[in-house]
Structure 1
Amino acid sequence: HGKDGYSRTLFLSLPPPLLSCLPPLQLETSPVFQSFSFSLSPTDINECETLLEACKGEMKCFNHYGGYLCLPRSASVIPAPDPPSQPGTNLESTAREPFNPCPLGYEPQGDSCVDVNECERDEHDCQPSQQCINIPGAFICQCPEGYRKIGTECIDIDECRYRYCQHRCVNVPGSFSCQCEPGFQLAGNNRSCIDVNECDMGAPCQQRCYNTYGTFLCRCDLGYELGPDGFACNDIDECSYSSYLCQFQCVNEPGKFSCQCPEGYQLLGTRLCQDINECETGEHQCTEGQTCVNIYGASQCVDTNRCQSPYVQVSDNRCVCPVTKPACRDLPFSIVQRYMSITSERSVPSDIFQIQATSVYPGAYNTFRIRSGDHDGDFYIRQINNISAMLVLARAVTGPQEYTLDLEMVSVNPLLSYQTSSALRLSVYVGPYAF
């Protein structure tokens, strides 16, 4: 047994007289020479267990028969089988083997020497995991693909150390495999990684998907916003962001919003509300003896003849109180009917109606006043000149409500000692909204 841990076979050749000195061996003699062999089967020492820090650093200790190896921790080893245990010393006689004049690994055949195929004759010492390959005069033991031979053992080749893979490499005994990062897939060469178009492979985007290198992005249509998960699209409630989107009422809808107007109004454009003139569209219930008056959000049917005694009707909207009637002495000579509509919460002071004298007499002096109907002082008269004045809204009013104001013009002629008056009966309808 040598220092390297391997057993040795010793062949001795002695002359015949010397063999007589060894009777216990009981060797047979030959006229040419005598040979014998013996082999010892020692017990292998596991240096990985007996030596303190046999391998240092990141190296791992692998024991093998007659020694040990320090290899990377990722290495895989196909261990050689232990030698057969044979107690004691075996003495094998080879005295009867014929003389071989050929070189080692050859045998005589006729007058020539031919190669011995140790692999076919099973006369080799290759491990079960190794392949025996015959060569002239000898044989070699070849490790499986992905392994390299160190001593008598096959050590796994860590292909990942050679950067065979574009992304990730996974070493396995005798081989390796390449893996790609998320968003990539292996190319046909099983080493390179190519981008995956997740949008064509069922990406979980609810609405729109955009492929990017190694990943993808989800986007939403107008009126939606991307949810916290990055995939779902949630409707944006535009109405909650501002109260000025619509003049009257904002209605949220999936992906959009719309504006609505109250009854009696119609949408002007996308957000404003416009009054519907029911008197023009015919959407009123006025009879033949009535006149349709359009107001904000609705219409009013008024009697064509609204003259009250002692007044008599002289035209569609004019009543006259004859001077021949005693009851007309303190009343305006004529009353003209007019109608108008204003919006709620109008800014004040606000000019809403102008009064204009239709007849002007030389030397006459005219004054204007509110004769009746303004119980709360919501209006006042601002005279412009001798023949006209302006009705002014003094306080903001809220509808729906109706005022009936008698606006009187008093004419005084000092030269003729003459005084007369006329009135304009103005019906003011206040709409329910500020539009």
Structure 2
Amino acid sequence: VNTVGSYTCECGVGFKTDSTATQCLDYRQGFCFTEVLHTMCQMSSSSRVPVSRSQCCCNRGLGWGDQCELCPLPATANYKKLCPYGHGYATDGTDIDECKLIPGVCANGICINIMGSYRCHCKPGYIASTAGTACVDVDECSMSPKPCNFICKNMEGSYVCSCPRGYMLQDDSRTCKDVDECQSRRHNCQFSCVNSIGGFTCKCPAGFSQHHTACKDINECLSERGPCGQQGICQNSVGSFSCECPQGFILDSLGLSCDDVDECAPDHRCQFGCQNVAGGFRCSCPEGYTQHQQWNQCVDDNECLNPGSCGSASCFNTLGSFKCGCPSGFNFDPVSTSCEDVDECVSFMSPCRYGCSNTQGGFMCGCPAGYYRAGQGHCVSAAGFGGGGLGPEEENGLSPETCYGCKTNRHQKKSEGVSLASVDVDQPLKLLLNRSQLKPSEAILELLPAVRALSQRVMYTITAGKHDGFFQIRQRAGISYLHSTHRTPSMRRYRLQIRSSALSKEMDRDERLAPNLHMTLHITLQ
């Protein structure tokens, strides 16, 4: 409102003019908040006492009012305008009563308001902080002299004295005195109790050892040498022990050791003589037998338990003796106590039809020239193609070994006419055949037995792979031939399996020198 030479202000609700009536001061009432999180005032930080905005913001407040109006930051122009008299004073210069405004101010003490600030008067056990605006606990236990003569525990505004185990607190609540646990029956000793300063000790009678408050029996039987000697049996008892003797011994006069009883001194029942031993006796036995440790009888002595009885050969125990045996293909030599190889090729009847080569524990039969050994007792040849139909040697596992040491009819021969070359029958035997050269009248493959026992007594058959009947086996003069039939082959690749089987079931067991032969033939037609 304009006046002569000046002006005056008319203020709205909640505002009042200052002493000059030239500005409106904010006197609206609202809660003051000391914590604001994301522009939201935290109700837990308010004393919930209505104050003006300047009373809040000019004294540590961060937010004010129902709308959470943020207080200006100190030293800013808005702060100086709201708080022209500085911290602790409202806009109109009146002092702010922090004791009413600040929640929980001067806890454990009394708040005293002063101009622009406040001070705390603290309770016993507390002391004012350096600024005098808070009461902090006094740690009496760190003071000198200490209030307790043993254990001191600081507490909020006070302290408590306590005593260690074996002591009790005096009436002054500060000093401790010893407790006689033995007299007051506060001990748990199993036998006797002896009081000591601050505690007690337990004692045990002879024959017992101390184990905390209990007495544990001493097991004298566990001593290093033993109280009953070498032969005695110690029996522990509570606080003591006793000695016992096994059969064949008797306890001496002191009862602490055992003496041997001579069972051979009186009449004995041994047929071949008696021999006294510690704790018993033994009867003499004939050669090949020995006295049983528990039974008074002669039992067979197992000579095979002695590694030198048969040397490297196998030992077979018999009643009163033993026998030495060797695997097939070896004979036992009693001089060297070892198994010596048997040269089957120099026997009366050679096991092979064409040539024989001795090996350790066995032999190998050779095959005629142009044939390969297949397995242990068979020969195979691709005779219809001059031997070339078997394909590369590295594919069929061919071994071009020559029989330099073969023997035929018990006479050693040179390499002519006999061969030890072999094919690997564990892998498919590959034959490369030209379709234009296939003739039913000419043999593709020849099979014949190399072992004499199989001569005229073996048959070769196709067991798998003959899908269209293109292959068949014919037999002439003891030789089996693989032929093609008159049909035209329907496939380019065949996989045949040929198996051998003995014809005579009455063949002597020793003549069955070769097992059934299994060959898988992998044939490619071009």
Report the structure, 1 or 2, having the larger strand content.
Answer: 1
| Same-fold status (TM-score > 0.5) | no
Give TM-score scaled by structure 1 length: 0.27
- The answer to which structure, 1 or 2, has the higher relative contact order (CA under 8 A, 6+ apart) is 1
